[in-house]
Every structure is written in structure tokens, then in C-alpha cells.
Amino acid sequence: MRRLSNPPPHVYSGCTFDRAARWRCDVDHLAAARHAPTTRVLLLSSLRVPVIAADPPCVHWLTVAELGQPLPEEAVYLGEVGGTSLFALAQAELAPAEACFVELRGVGALLPAEEAGVLAYARGLAFWHERHRFCGACGGPTVSRPAGHVRACPVLGSTHFPRSDPAVIVLVTHDHPVHGERCLLGRSARFVAGMYSTLAGFVEPGESLEDTVRRELYEEAGVAVTDVVYQSSQPWPFPASLMIGFRARALDDRLVIDPEELDDAGWYTRAELLDPAQRRIKLPSRDSIARHLIESWLLEAAAPVELPVMPPAVAAVR
């Protein structure tokens, strides 16, 4: 059987609800939405999200009445779904009785795609507000505009918008005359024990994505690559990235690992990764584009294969 655990649109993306940018500057619409009985509010606490522990888990939304107070001005307007306005309110102190606050990475792959996407969007905006309370030009405090998608500097009159940091993530292959086709996986010190993944790095100013792919692979592993081809992308609000997935082909399999970037890296055949008896490493978690890039390559084997069943790399919902 052929299957992928995280096909495009990846977890945290493919969110089709209406972001309703047309209402973000409409103070009358926003004021009405803040009081509407149909409005739903998402509380966040230290960037953690409210989830009801069920099988499968689901997101906990409050009505304004259940909030027990008027919706504060700093609540961020997320958009509309089926005539319902959605807001997110960060810095909640207490979880509602039926729910608990959890790290989004712990439940993302278990949630319906729409819900995981809305939570990623809300978490990304909450992080941006948290880290842009002061103007980068004059150092004075910034204020959030009514919908929460712009922060303004009252001194300079400048405006600041939410940002995502682009990063490339690359599955590199090499066709060895003896070992056959192998892929390059590495691990950094910050990974969980035993986990190896595709190599990744942030785009620097003045670089194209293809330039970043070539530079990162050479810097981290001493690998020169060609045939750089885009695959798919994934929002990664942990805290503020957009992961842009590529495939590339190595010109040779010699590795020169930068110990500042990687603890280890190596070439792996499909047989090594597919056979639990041969597999010496853990693959990245099911919610990541890295996992998708690896699984896609594994499924290119000539014969149909069964992907390895691995325990979900997610924490239980408490």
C-alpha cells in the first residue's frame, strides 16, 4: 500500500477559511463582530493553544458571553467561517474548564486540517505581536491597529506588518554505483535523540531560494548540488518560518560536516529507512514537510512499499 502521512497541503496549511482582509480596516464591522453572539474566540496562553482532549482532539472556542468580559481591543481578528467571526486572544491565564493549553506541535497532526491551519495562523500572529511591541526604528512602543494585523509607531507614523522568515529544506539524493540511490539526512544538536532529517537553512538577504539551497548544503555538509527543484511549502510558525521544500542531486557523496551546524550526517538507502531492522535513525515528526520529502522519495521505489509505522512524534493531549 502506498501512503503519505503528510501530503500537500501540509499540516498547518491548506486552510481555506476566509481571512476576510476586507474587514480589517472596517471599524464598524469589527465593533459589531466583537459583540455578536455567533462570534468565536480562541484563547492562547504563552503561545499554547486550547484543545479538548478527545479522540481525535478538537480546538476549544468560546463565545463572547463565555469569555465573561467584553472582547478586549487587543484580540486579533482572524476572519470568517460560515458567517461566524473568529478572534484570537493571547495571554489567557486560565484554560476553560473543558480544555487545556498544549503546544501546537503536540497536536497539529491529530487535528482536522482546517483547525490546525487556524491555530498555526493564530499562533504566528500572537508571536509577532509579542516580539514587535517596540518600533525597530525609534525604539518607542508600537500599538496594534484594530484588527491586529498591523502595528503602528505613533512617533514616526510608520507601520509594521507580520513577517515570516523563509527557509529552504532539501532532500538531496546521490546515485552511487554500488549502493544505488541514497538520500542525505543529518542531525543537529537541537533534535530529539536519534532523529535525522533533511537539511535546512534560512534565506539570507540578496539570495534566491536556489542560491540558498546550494549555499546551505555546501556550508553544512560540503555537498555540491545540482538539479534544484521546488516541491511544496509549509507554514511553520515555530516561531515564524515558511519552509520551502526542494529536491536536489549531489554531484558526489563526499561529506565535510560543519560541527557548528550538524552533529552527524550520512547517506541512507530506501532499504535502510524502510526496514525497521536496518533503520538506525528516527525520522522527523509526521507534521513536518521534512517527513513528507523523505516519504515521497521512499515511495519512488520501483516496487510498491509499505511505509514504516512509527509512533506519532506528538505528545498526548492532557
Q: Can you give the binding site for Zn ion, defined by CB under 5 A?
A: 135, 137-138, 140, 153, 155-156
Q: Cβ of residue 152: shortest distance to Zn ion, in angstroms?
A: 9
Q: Cβ of residue 153: shortest distance to Zn ion, in angstroms?
A: 3
Sheet holding 49-52, edge to edge: 58-59, 49-52, 100-102
> Which of 228, 309, 212, 308 minimizes the C-alpha distance to 268?
308
Tell me whether residue 130 or residue 227 sits nearer to Zn ion (CB atom): 130
Tell me whether residue 2 or residue 131 sits nearer to Zn ion (CB atom): 131
Under a CB-based contact definition with an 8 Å cutoff, are residues 293 and 171 in contact?
yes
Tell me whether residue 157 or residue 276 sits nearer to Zn ion (CB atom): 157
Phi, psi of 296 (to 5 degrees): -60, -40
Under a CB-based contact definition with an 8 Å cutoff, are residues 267 and 183 in contact?
yes
Under a CB-based contact definition with an 8 Å cutoff, are residues 223 and 215 in contact?
no
Q: Cβ of residue 93: shortest distance to Zn ion, in angstroms?
A: 30
- Closest residue (Cβ) to Zn ion? 135
Tell me whether residue 134 or residue 191 sits nearer to Zn ion (CB atom): 134
> Which of 104, 52, 50 minimizes the C-alpha distance to 285?
104
Tell me whether residue 78 or residue 135 sits nearer to Zn ion (CB atom): 135
Q: Cβ of residue 155: shortest distance to Zn ion, in angstroms?
A: 5
Q: Cβ of residue 129: shortest distance to Zn ion, in angstroms?
A: 16
Under a CB-based contact definition with an 8 Å cutoff, are residues 254 and 222 in contact?
yes
Under a CB-based contact definition with an 8 Å cutoff, are residues 153 and 140 in contact?
yes
Q: Cβ of residue 192: shortest distance to Zn ion, in angstroms?
A: 41
Tell me whether residue 145 or residue 279 sits nearer to Zn ion (CB atom): 145
